[in-house]
Every structure is written in structure tokens, then in C-alpha cells.
Amino acid sequence: MSQATLARRAGVSVSLLSKIEIGDRALSQGVAAALGRAMSVTLDEVLGRAQPTPNSEEHLKELRSSIRRFDLPGEASADFALLTRELDELTTLRSNAKLSEVLRKTPGLLANATNHAHAVGTPPAWAIVADIYSAVYWLAARHRWMDLAELAVVKQRLAAERATPLVATVAARDEAGVFLNSGDFEGGLAVVDRAIVEAESTTSGLERTFGVGQLHLRGLTLAGRLGDRAEAERHAAAAWRRAGELPEDVRLHGIHFGPENTAHHLVATSVDLDQHRKALEVADQLNRHPPTLPATRTGPLHLNEARAKLALGDRDGALESLTRAWGSAPQLAKVHPHSQELLRVLISLHRRSNPRLTKLAKSAGVTV
């Protein structure tokens, strides 16, 4: 396929495609998805799967074994109180973007929680199982292990059906995330819209505010990747209305929602829509106050700052923000496609030795 043919089928200019190929422009995930469709491959194939380390390979095998045995429970060996404490520990590891530690802890906890849920059959027990699968989805999506992510959300939905309406709402959010990470943004938006209707009718009070709000944030991200500004503005406005019902961000079932997280999502979507100055204005407001959200949000915030600065020609500022992302969430930055792409372009544009860039590239395994 010629460059011109690929550009035409993907709906991008030959000039943009050429700049991406030689490393003068960063490849956004929206453009990557368009290129993937033109070449009949998935987004994770375009971006590349993160390779598991030798240590993580064994944990992955254990995790897949636990998932396979969803309907083949063993003897329950843990009580609800112990499982709750261990889930809290897993959620903290996830919030701190400790990917390797999440992978290490998940297989055994998932097996114990599944056995317990089958033994007692209560909604709170199944909610724990669904929350663990949400962590599995998050872990798999970060590494672009999409086969595992898709399997996780199927099991998450099955567990959520035996739990509570809010747990089902979180499962729908993660299901839409699989569409997002696979590059099917229209499909993800359809999942979000369906889930919002269901959440509006099955939840109330704080749970409705939280559930519907975090679904609108997922819709905002999907619309931004699709390049649909009107749809993005619709979801942003709805998310802000829900966030306005909360004095501060809250965390339920491992997910955050509130004013600060809504602003974080607005930064990311503004970059996706090429509204780079708007993104930096919102990011600057967030940076004026001590963050209340964990590394899973502050790390991507700095990556999106770097993307906006790079697009505006501020290479030094982009490198500074990228360095902050690595400082905030190094394990996440190492596998995140935005981080990899920023490094690739900065290396290409500098074309000279830069100690900070060289250090980051070495940590990421990128050749300078």
C-alpha cells in the first residue's frame, strides 16, 4: 500500500502521515485507530503490545488459570473481611500505578474471592469479584493485552449481574474501555449511551451521580478519540453537572469521579481534539493545587501536558512534563503509548545528545 493510498483510506493527509513516519509528529491514538482500520488491524496491533517480563509471565499464567475457573470454584478458604482488606490493598496498588505488584497479587485474590462468592452467593461477595476483574481489565488495557482485557470484562459483567446496579455500571464503563483500547470508538459510545440509560433507572443518590458521571467521562474520552467535538462537549457538560453534585472526588469500586477527575479527562480530550492551549490552561489550574487524585491520574495528566506542549512546539516543556510523568508513575509511563510516542518524537526532533532524554529513553528501553 502506498503512502498516499494509506492516507486516503485512513482519512488523514499525506503530509501528516509523512511527519508521523519520520518522527516529526506524535501518533495520536485517534489517528492510529484510523490507520489500523485502513490496514485491517486493531489499535493494539498498531501501538504494539507491551512484552511481559520473565517474572510476570508466570503471574499471567496463574491469572489466566484463575479466570478460566470462574465456574469451577474450589473450597472457600477466605472470609469476607479478609477479602475486603486484600481488595483495598489491590486498589491502593492500582491507584499508585504499581502494575507489576497488581499482577503479582491478582491471581490468588481472584481465586479466593471467586470461591467465596460461589460459597455464599451474596451481592457484596460478587461485588468483590467484579472489582478484581475491573483491576484485571485496567492492567491488561495498560499493557494492550486486549485478549485478556476482553476476557476480563466478560467475567466482570457476569459477576456484576449478581452484585448491585452500581457494580454493573462500573462493568459497563470497563466494557466501553475495551472498545476504546481496540480503536472502536463508535461502538464504545453506543455501550456508554446504553449504560447511562440503565444507570439512570437502576441507581439513585450518590450512586447515580457517581455511576452516570463516570460513564460520561468514558464517553468524553471516546468522543475525543473519534474527533467528534459536539459529542465530546455533550459528555463534558453532563459530567460537569454530575461532578457539581459532589464537593470533592470520591472513589467507589476502585474508580474516581468528581470535579478534579473531570478536569483531568478534559485535558486529555482537549489534546485529542487539537485544543492544545485549552488543555494547558486546565492543566495549569490543576497544578496550582496539591493533587488529591493518585498516580493513575497524575501520571497521564503530565503525559497529556507533554503532548500539548510538543504540538505547540515547546520541546523543552514537553520533556519536562514527560519527566514529571515518569516521576509520578514510572511503571505506567514505561508501557503507556503516549509516553513511548513522545520519547520517539523528542529523540527525532532533538537529533543531539540530551542527558534527561537519554536517561528516560534508557528507562523505557527506547534506542537513542
Tens of pLDDT, residue by residue over 302-312, are 999 999 999 99
Question: pLDDT tens-digit profile of 72-127?
Answer: 989 998 899 999 999 999 999 999 999 999 999 999 999 999 999 999 999 999 99
Domain extents in the chain: 1-41, 274-368
Residues 299 and 333: beta-carbon distance below 8 Å: yes
Per-residue pLDDT of the chain (368 residues; tens, 9 = 90+): 898 999 899 898 998 898 888 787 888 888 888 888 899 888 878 888 787 777 889 999 999 999 999 999 899 988 999 999 999 999 999 999 999 999 999 999 999 999 999 999 999 999 999 999 999 999 999 999 999 999 999 999 999 999 999 999 999 999 999 999 999 999 999 999 999 999 999 999 999 999 999 999 999 999 999 999 999 999 999 999 999 999 999 999 999 999 999 999 999 999 999 999 999 999 999 999 888 899 999 999 999 999 999 999 999 999 999 999 999 999 999 999 999 899 989 988 866 668 888 888 888 877 76
Residue 193 belongs to what H/E stretch? helix 185-202
C-alpha 131 chain-centroid distance: 15
Q: Please give the Cα distance from 338 to 304 (Å, whole number).
A: 8
Q: Please give the Cα distance from 177 to 271 (Å, whole number).
A: 19
Q: Please give the Cα distance from 19 to 87 (Å, whole number).
A: 45
Buried b (16+ CB within 10 A) or exposed e, 233-243: eebbebbbebb
The CA radius of gyration of the chain, in Å to the nearest whole number, is 20
pLDDT at residue 58, as a whole number: 93
If one counts every other C-beta atom within 10 angstroms of the C-beta of residue 162, the result is 18
Residues 326 and 333: beta-carbon distance below 8 Å: yes
pLDDT at residue 91, as a whole number: 97
Those residues with Cβ within 8 angstroms of residue 325's Cβ, 6 or more apart along the chain or in another chain: 299, 300, 301, 302, 303, 306, 333, 339
What is 274-368's CATH number? 1.25.40
Those residues with Cβ within 8 angstroms of residue 215's Cβ, 6 or more apart along the chain or in another chain: 169, 172, 173, 176, 192, 195, 196, 199
DSSP output for 242-262? HHTT-SS-EEETTEEESHHHH
Residue carrying the nine cell digits 474516581: 256
- Three-state secondary-structure class, residue 212: helix
**Sequence-separated contacts (24+) of 28-35 with Cβ below 8 Å:** 28/272, 28/307, 29/183, 29/225, 29/272, 29/337, 29/338, 30/185, 30/224, 30/225, 30/226, 30/227, 30/272, 32/183, 32/337, 33/183, 33/184, 33/185, 33/225, 34/10, 35/6, 35/10
Task: Quote the pTM value.
Answer: 0.92
Question: pLDDT tens-digit profile of 284-308?
Answer: 999 998 888 999 999 999 999 999 9
CA distances from 129 to 3, 149, 173, 210, 258 (A): 47, 15, 16, 20, 25
pLDDT at residue 177, as a whole number: 97
Residues 95 and 54: beta-carbon distance below 8 Å: no
- For residue 84, give the C-alpha cell: 475486603
CA distances from 137 to 99, 157, 159, 208, 260 (A): 12, 12, 14, 23, 23
pLDDT at residue 219, as a whole number: 98
pLDDT at residue 351, as a whole number: 60
pLDDT at residue 355, as a whole number: 82
DSSP output for 10-42? HT--HHHHHHHHHTSS---HHHHHHHHHHTT--
Residues in the chain: 368
